[in-house]
Amino acid sequence: LLQESSPEQHFLLKDLVSADLGQSHLLDPFEAIVDDDDKFSTKLKAMMSQLEELDGAYPGGLKEYVHKAKKLLANSKAGLNPLAGWAPSVPAGEKFELGTEEYKSTEALGMETLGKVGFVLVAGGLGERLGYNGTKIGLPIETTTNSTYLQYYVDYIKAVQSKYAKGGLLPLCIMVSNDTKKPTIRLLAENNNFGLVPEQLFIVEQGAGVPALSDNNAKFATDSDDPFTLSTKPHGHGDIHSLLYKEGVISKWNEKFDLDYMVLFQDTNGLAFHTLPLMLGVSKKNGFVMNSLAVPRKAKQAVGGIAKLTNTSSGAVRTINVEYNQLDPLLRSTKKFQKGDVNDASGFSPFPGNINQLVFQMEGYSKVLERTKGIMPDFVNPKYKDESKTVFKKPTRLECMMQDFPTVMEGGETAGFTQIGPELCFSPVKNSVPDGVNLQAKGTPAGTAATGEADQYAATRIMLRSIGCTVEDAEEVSFNGIKVIPGPSIVIKAKVACCPGELKSVFPSPEKIKISSRSTLVIGGTGVTIESLDLDGTLVVNKTGKKIANMKVKNDGWVKVPVKDHDDEKIRMRGFVIEKKGGSYIGTDDSDDCFTDTDCMSGCIIA
């Protein structure tokens, strides 16, 4: 066997098949092809180079991976609390309500540094729960304008850059994995990087991932249809920190851009940025190196709980996310929270829900990164077949999480959180329709395509009401069993207004704005002002600088029609299509005014 390999591969394989690492089963399938020299040689070379790649991708190599995995799997089987020695308590942090003076002043403080933010999108996840095979950032964020998630994020970055960065560029780094690299690069190429220039776009790759593990002895699993190929999985979003370090992204950013903060955000949260200035204001006021966006958390909801942990021997204190699968055992191990992960009298868990939107102060973050190389602790979360905890439902793997950054922070480097209602900042698209139906039945947010889209519109309605506009709500409807308030559908592009604090300049007399429950309003033209409007139907305003006053619009509007089966998976997963029955359109960025009724449909382009 070993004649086929380089000396490095030779030693790696020798190590792996040893009794200590226990991977000799990987060679079993070769017995069946021992007489076929060509096949034997090709398959062996392929496996060797895969092992070598995996060895290089994991800090400390595969030996370290197996040792850690065996230990963590044994702890998990024994039901040991991974946070033993740390006592949880409810953390202090800043909690806000939209429209209050405190909100406005903190947001205004944050807006002062909005032009000095770098953006990091973690988009290496498989989307297993959603059951979608393409890249999630290529899904529509809403189907009124059909913008994709990536387009939306980039539009926001470009808007903030042109309004606040004083001619400077704001960088975007996207973390991809083996699974998402190709489609992400294709999406960017097909859309000319959505207008970003190459100097501001950075792609880092999680690489080969880590071997999937089929049992408590950390036995590497192979692909079900190919026993010569190891089955691998992404190592978790925590890889972002070591990649930002290893690929030199942070040092380049410090050198080439004028940045005070950096925001890490996930692939499908359509409300990701409404509260960014608010978070920046909180970080600034408190001198936080790390600031997590949080929402009131329903017990057992699949979002981690932010807790204050005090080390019972050293007295060290950390404000940190405790992941949803670890929170219940941690709480049960204490006297005070012995009922585990349950709601308190407020109807919510006492621990704020981490939604993994993280703001880091650049200087503090860079220091921690230099010291630690950004390596996060690993954890394992096997799903067992039964109580004996000896057989897994499917192979598991070691993972790490980006929100574990406080584990490598030291005294004086503080972490905190900013809490606001989820209606303004959190509605991810993670779940398939059947799972979403079950979650809604339990009173938990569905996290499906239909709710993600509905929540987009809802957030904008809430922001408009907060400044004094009159906006009705539609009646609840159900698409494939997922209950949503479908409208009115309001989309205000980031270049028009990128946070609640900017809305007043678009609607200077909000008391003169009325939008009916069946309406659709799209504002895509920079510098549009709407002085007074009575809308009952659809209005699209894409004309740059357009000033609207005394406008009354009534037409048949755009209607969401339920669909059961559809060829397009993106439509199937949301369960409706938008039928454009009638609408009024005011120009595009490069055409003249056009304001007529439904006849205008074919002549007007919606940007």
The site for ligand GDU (CB under 6 A) is made up of 122-125, 175, 177, 206, 234-237, 266-267, 302-304, 321, 323, 354-356, 401, 403, 428, 430
Residue type, 369: L
SS3 34: coil
Q: In this complex, which beta carbon is closest to ligand GDU, that of residue 237 or of residue 493?
A: 237
Q: Give the C-alpha separation, 160 to 196, whole Å.
A: 13
**337 contacts: CB under 8 Å, gap ≥ 6:** 88, 331
DSSP 363-376: HHHHHHHHHHTTPP
Q: Give the C-alpha separation, 604 to 541, whole Å.
A: 11
To ligand GDU, the closest distance from the beta carbon of 548 in angstroms equals 37
Q: In this complex, which beta carbon is closest to ligand GDU, that of residue 114 or of residue 355?
A: 355
Residue type, 297: R
How many CB atoms are located within 10 Å of the residue 192 CB? 8
DSSP 537-561: SEEEE-STT-EE-SEEEE---EEEE
Q: Give the C-alpha separation, 451 to 482, whole Å.
A: 8
Pairing of strands 489-492, 529-530: unpaired
* Cα dihedral 175/177/182/183 (nearest 10): -70
Q: State the residue for tokens 């900013």.
A: 418
Q: In this complex, which beta carbon is closest to ligand GDU, that of residue 113 or of residue 178?
A: 178
Q: In this complex, which beta carbon is closest to ligand GDU, that of residue 235 or of residue 574?
A: 235
Which of 418, 292, 421 is closest to 346 using CA atoms? 421
To ligand GDU, the closest distance from the beta carbon of 62 in angstroms equals 18
Q: In this complex, which beta carbon is closest to ligand GDU, that of residue 444 or of residue 509?
A: 444
Phi, psi of 396 (to 5 degrees): -110, -175
Put the strands of the sheet holding 533-536 in their side by side order: 470-471, 513-515, 533-536, 551-554
For the record, the structure tokens of 36 come out as 């076929």
To ligand GDU, the closest distance from the beta carbon of 203 in angstroms equals 12
To ligand GDU, the closest distance from the beta carbon of 528 in angstroms equals 32
DSSP code for 428? B
CA angle 131, 137, 139 (to 5 degrees): 65
DSSP code for 397? -
Start-to-end C-alpha separation, the chain: 60
Which of 429, 487, 497 is closest to 463 using CA atoms? 497
To ligand GDU, the closest distance from the beta carbon of 381 in angstroms equals 9
To ligand GDU, the closest distance from the beta carbon of 490 in angstroms equals 24
**80 contacts: CB under 8 Å, gap ≥ 6:** none
To ligand GDU, the closest distance from the beta carbon of 265 in angstroms equals 8
Q: Give the C-alpha separation, 435 to 482, whole Å.
A: 10
Q: In this complex, which beta carbon is closest to ligand GDU, that of residue 294 or of residue 409?
A: 294
Q: In this complex, which beta carbon is closest to ligand GDU, that of residue 122 or of residue 446?
A: 122
**CB closest to ligand GDU, residue no:** 125
Instruction: Compute the Cα dihedral for 106, 107, 108, 114 and give only its sign.
Output: positive
Residue type, 401: M
* CA distances (Å), origin 18, targets 21, 25, 66, 307: 6, 11, 12, 42
Q: In this complex, which beta carbon is closest to ligand GDU, that of residue 127 or of residue 488?
A: 127
Q: In this complex, which beta carbon is closest to ligand GDU, that of residue 400 or of residue 462?
A: 400
Q: Burial letters for 270-279: b for 16+ Cβ neighbours within 10 Å, e otherwise?
A: bbbbbbbbbb
Q: In this complex, which beta carbon is closest to ligand GDU, that of residue 175 or of residue 250?
A: 175
Q: Give the C-alpha separation, 220 to 2, whole Å.
A: 20
To ligand GDU, the closest distance from the beta carbon of 209 in angstroms equals 7
DSSP 191-230: TGGGG--GGGEEEEE-TT-EE-B-STT-PBPEETTEEEEE
To ligand GDU, the closest distance from the beta carbon of 323 in angstroms equals 6
To ligand GDU, the closest distance from the beta carbon of 65 in angstroms equals 15
To ligand GDU, the closest distance from the beta carbon of 266 in angstroms equals 4
Q: In this complex, which beta carbon is closest to ligand GDU, that of residue 409 or of residue 604?
A: 409
Q: In this complex, which beta carbon is closest to ligand GDU, that of residue 236 or of residue 537?
A: 236
To ligand GDU, the closest distance from the beta carbon of 452 in angstroms equals 12
300 torsion bin: left (phi>0), alpha (psi -120 to 50), beta (else): left
**208 contacts: CB under 8 Å, gap ≥ 6:** 50, 53, 54, 56, 57, 178, 232
Q: In this complex, which beta carbon is closest to ligand GDU, that of residue 432 or of residue 489?
A: 432
Pairing of strands 210-211, 201-205: unpaired
To ligand GDU, the closest distance from the beta carbon of 546 in angstroms equals 36
To ligand GDU, the closest distance from the beta carbon of 6 in angstroms equals 29
